[in-house]
Amino acid sequence: MSPPAGELAPQALAFAVRCHSGHRRGSDGRPFITHPLEVARLLRDAGCSEDVVAAGLLHDVVRDAHVTFGELERRFGEEVAALVQGVTDNSCVESYRLRKQTLRDQVRFVGGDVALLFAADKIAEVRDWPRDVGREQSRLAQLPPDSRARRYIEQHRDMRLEHYRASLAMLEHVAPGHPLVVQLAAELKRCTAQQPAPAPEPQRVPAPKGPGVRRAPDRTGAVRRSVSP
């Protein structure tokens, strides 16, 4: 049974605070609860119902705190649980790209308030994306250009941006002209315009020069090191 009208969102907030206790945001180290708070605020300002605002506060508790949809339904009602389920991806799908594609298909199929909740979540994530990229750039600057870790970071960053753009395209089809969708488009345009330049590759240490050592071009035109007999 859901709480009485007017008490649903405060109770959802208290539960979300407990579930995300100790969790930190990767982009800036702030308490993670600031993210669902921002999502809920966006939904409230867009005129959404209390059920939708409560779902905004709770939308990450299944993924991050191992809360079940059954528990959400018992505490907050069937509508809130269904909304959270609608924006929760399937963690059993290992491929990031496939998991996010499946989630977008899920949101497109359900539409309605699930699409608005998804849009608000994406607005909050896109706002954080430049900070995430800046943090990644610092790590990339310390990695060799051909390292596996460097390739993973760059690939994951590109896939996230791909997901945000595909999410916007889907939402423009499902909820064309809705203020949250329009806002997502503006935020995505702004954050990609601020995207920093690629991190410089670490400087290679020049090979020592000395007696018996010379530089000679190889067959591909690149310079290689050869030693005189």
Q: What is the pLDDT along the chain (229 residues), one digit of tens a residue?
A: 678 778 999 999 999 999 999 888 766 678 899 999 999 999 999 999 999 999 999 999 999 898 999 999 999 999 999 999 999 999 899 999 999 999 999 999 999 999 999 999 999 999 987 776 666 666 666 777 777 877 767 787 889 899 999 999 999 999 999 999 999 999 999 887 765 544 444 444 444 454 443 443 444 444 333 333 3
pTM of the complete model? 0.79
- Is the four-CA dihedral 147, 148, 151, 154 of positive or negative sign? negative
Question: 223 forms bridges with which residues in the sheet?
Answer: 217
Tokens of 177: 């002209």
* C-alpha 13, offset from chain centre: 22
CATH 1.10.3210.10 in the chain is located at 1-88
Single out the residue of 85, 88, 87, 72 nearest to residue 8, CA to CA. Answer: 72
Residue 22 has phi, psi (to 5 degrees) of: 85, -10
- For tokens 């605020």, what's the residue? 41
Question: CA dist 135 to 131, 132, 161, 198, Å?
Answer: 6, 5, 16, 12
Residue 26 has phi, psi (to 5 degrees) of: -70, -30
Asked if residues 214 and 228 have their Cβ atoms less than 8 Å apart, the reply is yes
Question: CA dist 179 to 47, 161, 184, Å?
Answer: 10, 21, 9
- Specify the CATH superfamily of domain 1-88: Hypothetical protein af1432 (1.10.3210.10)
